Amino acid sequence: MASLDDIPVTELKGVGSALAEKLARLGISSLQDLLFHLPHRYEDRTRIIPMGSLRVGDVAVVEGEVMKSDLVMGRRRSLQVTLKDSSGFLVLRFFHFNAAQKNQLSEGTQVRCFGEVRPGRAGYEFYHPEYQTNPPPMPTGEQATLTPVYPLTEGIQQPRVRGLCQQALGYLQRHPIRDWLPAELLAGYQLPGINEAVQMVHSPPASAPVHLLMEGRHPAQQRLVMEELLAHQLSMLQVREQIQARQALSLLPTGDLAERFLEELPFALTGAQRQVVSEIRQDLSQPLPMLRLVQGDVGSGKTVVAALAAIQTLGAGAQVALMAPTEILAEQHYQNFKGWLEPLGIQLAWLSGKVKGKARKEALEAVHTGAASVIIGTHALFQDDVLFHRLALVIVDEQHRFGVHQRLALREKGVGGTLAPHQLIMTATPIPRTLAMSAYADLDTSVIDELPPGRKPIETIVIPDSRRDDVIERVRSACADGRQAYWVCTLIEESEALQCQAAEVTAQELTERLTGLKVGLVHGRLKSSEKAEVMERFKQGELDLLVATTVIEVGVDVPNASLIIIENPERLGLAQLHQLRGRVGRGEQASFCVLMYHPPLSANGKARLQALRDSQDGFVIAEKDLEIRGPGEVLGTRQTGMMQFRLADFERDKGWIEPVREMAPGLMRQPQLVQALIRRWMGEKMRYGDV
């Protein structure tokens, strides 16, 4: 018997090639895909509400008779239909309409419609409501169901998707969906089978507990949430298996490079750093590729840990590549590693998109022959013409800016193209534990949760921009005391050009007002050599104030800087603000972070700035960020499609993460189940295993 997976949507009434193409944009090609295109909320359309009792913002069903229907020629031409019932009247307004619609809604016609109440010129209005003329009687009792609301794509309206899903439900009896989860597992959590759950979610009876469905907590929804989280977890474990299907070079610590390196450091490692170093040392000595994520708060010393991993690799006669997401951060790593490793007799190479011509040719040659043992750069490191001599370790900074695909692609760059390189992933964006367990299920996680001794907490002050003059005076007095300061410009527009322009204007204004102070400017449009030069001058103390866009978010280390002003902080995420704040507090003196917002602040904005004022701990802040903004934002992966769940909601469903994590490894032994669940929930998105 054909499964729903094999029955194309074109089997349904009314689905021709044009509609099939639109559905394909939503990842729907079979009836099973359609039934797993799940509603993200519901509307209760089971009762007709009297027009006289409506309030602005209500979403309701009304029914009445057309009193009049007029064409109104305002700024935009509209069709204005006045509807009345025994309690009052309501205006229906259509900006997009045709002659047939106008005739349909003529005087005296009975109309039932559904919409959201807005204030209008003549009283309350519905804009573009869904409507029926001369409607049948309202369903009662068991026939009355909540109305599902589905995610859409251009050219498909809600009623069309609803109709198709209802048609597809008709096939369930003859072609039930295969339930891949063991019956005892479902019984243990008191969850329904897959067919019952799908039926309930698409077509809940009026007797169903509305509040549970509205909140996503109904057992049928939770059954599907659990399966979706499980599919995601299995897909990550599959990535891990694919990477570890190849062996890696076993890097046994040899020689005295590490001892010489540690002797030269002006500080001792913290306990947390030593713990993470020993976890990495253990991983690198295995013939399986290491897959480790190192999380550490701003200033916890991840780079030193990465350097020790590099030194273990070099001691075994192999190469290390370090990849960072931006030129400025890659350059910072290059300077750090050069300072540490060149005195130990190690040659480095620098590769970024901007290294061209002869310099690039020489760098590629040094990488290919093995003359350069440490290669640092942006993702330009993994272009086809970069051939490594004996690459055994890849260090990736700020992993969430790179996709899993790139990590899979690294397999091909290992020793002889047959051994996979070890992978060490670093992030200074603390990731809430629940999120890390799911988003990075393919990685082992280490946390550096201890700051070096002598770090003073940073005092955070939140003030409106009406006090800008006071803030400028504060900068003047800090610099007069021999300290340095940052001034960060942020703009709501994503446009880099506008951000740079704002920074230029601010730098100009501050130069004029702070006479006698040396002001530098750094933004995304400067050449990387110009950026590096300004940064270097600031680091050397030749500049008092550095005006910058958020390009300084990561990696800049100037112990004498004790004050940072962030304009419009309400426009940035908490994690990013925490990163920026971490630019100060690196020396012995008390440090301050001034968040200068533009009133009025939304409740959300207030909560975020308050969280920052209340805590110095990046992990606490990340939990708060997750609560306020959701996982896609926290991980910076809105663009990549990762963590875009159909039904699961991280905050609401985090109770499932631990059980799912425990369940997944046992299920990995059933490849057919793994493939079926990944295909069901993640569709074609998950073909990256073949990269």
Q: Answer whether residue 193 shows pLDDT above 70.
A: yes
Domain that includes residue 359, residue range: 257-448
Q: What is the pLDDT of residue 629?
A: 61
Q: What is the pLDDT of residue 529?
A: 75
Mean pLDDT in residue range 132-144 = 76
Secondary structure of residue 448 in the 3-state scheme: strand
Residue 607 pLDDT level (bands cut at 50, 70, 90) = confident
Same-domain check for residues 491 and 590:
yes
Q: What is the pLDDT of residue 666?
A: 92
Position 390 in a domain: yes
- What is the residue-wise DSSP string for 213-250? HHHT-SHHHHHHHHHHHHHHHHHHHHHHHHHHTS----
pLDDT per residue as tens digits for the range 480-505? 999 999 999 886 555 566 667 778 88
Mean pLDDT in residue range 613-617 = 85
Position 225 in a domain: no
The Cα 472–Cα 499 span in angstroms is 20
CATH (domain of 567): 3.40.50.300
Q: Answer whether residue 471 shows pLDDT above 90.
A: yes
Position 278 in a domain: yes
Position 571 in a domain: yes
Backbone phi, psi, residue 394, to 5°:
-115, 125
pLDDT per residue as tens digits for the range 553-576? 555 678 899 999 999 888 887 877
DSSP secondary structure letter of residue 561: E
Same-domain check for residues 76 and 162:
no
Residue 194 pLDDT level (bands cut at 50, 70, 90) = very high
Position 564 in a domain: yes
Position 467 in a domain: yes
Position 638 in a domain: no
- What is the residue-wise DSSP string for 363-415? HHHHHHHTS-SEEEESGGGGSTT---SSEEEEEEESGGGS-HHHHHHGGGGSG
Same-domain check for residues 573 and 470:
yes
Position 435 in a domain: yes
Q: Answer whether residue 289 shows pLDDT above 70.
A: yes
Same-domain check for residues 160 and 274:
no
Same-domain check for residues 19 and 168:
yes
pLDDT per residue as tens digits for the range 224-260? 999 999 998 998 888 888 888 888 999 987 778 899 9
The Cα 243–Cα 213 span in angstroms is 40
Mean pLDDT in residue range 126-133 = 88
Total domain count, the chain: 4
Please, are residues 464 and 598 in contact by the beta-carbon 8 Å criterion? yes
Same-domain check for residues 479 and 602:
yes
Same-domain check for residues 417 and 307:
yes
Q: What is the pLDDT of residue 380?
A: 80
Q: Answer whether residue 424 shows pLDDT above 90.
A: yes
Mean pLDDT in residue range 341-369 = 89
Same-domain check for residues 596 and 502:
yes
Residue 143 pLDDT level (bands cut at 50, 70, 90) = low
**pLDDT > 90: percent of the chain:** 35
Task: Tell me the three-class secondary structure of 597-611, residue by residue.
Answer: ECCCCCHHHHHHHHH
More confident residue, 370 or 526: 370
Same-domain check for residues 39 and 62:
no
Both tokens assigned to 151? 């995610």
Same-domain check for residues 311 and 176:
no
Q: Is the pTM of this model over 0.85?
A: no
Please, are residues 393 and 425 in contact by the beta-carbon 8 Å criterion? no
Q: Answer whether residue 475 shows pLDDT above 90.
A: yes
Same-domain check for residues 500 and 575:
yes
Same-domain check for residues 431 and 325:
yes
Mean pLDDT in residue range 18-35 = 88
Q: Answer whether residue 452 shows pLDDT above 80.
A: no
Q: In whole numbers, what is the pLDDT of the chain averaged over residues?
A: 84
Residue 651 pLDDT level (bands cut at 50, 70, 90) = confident
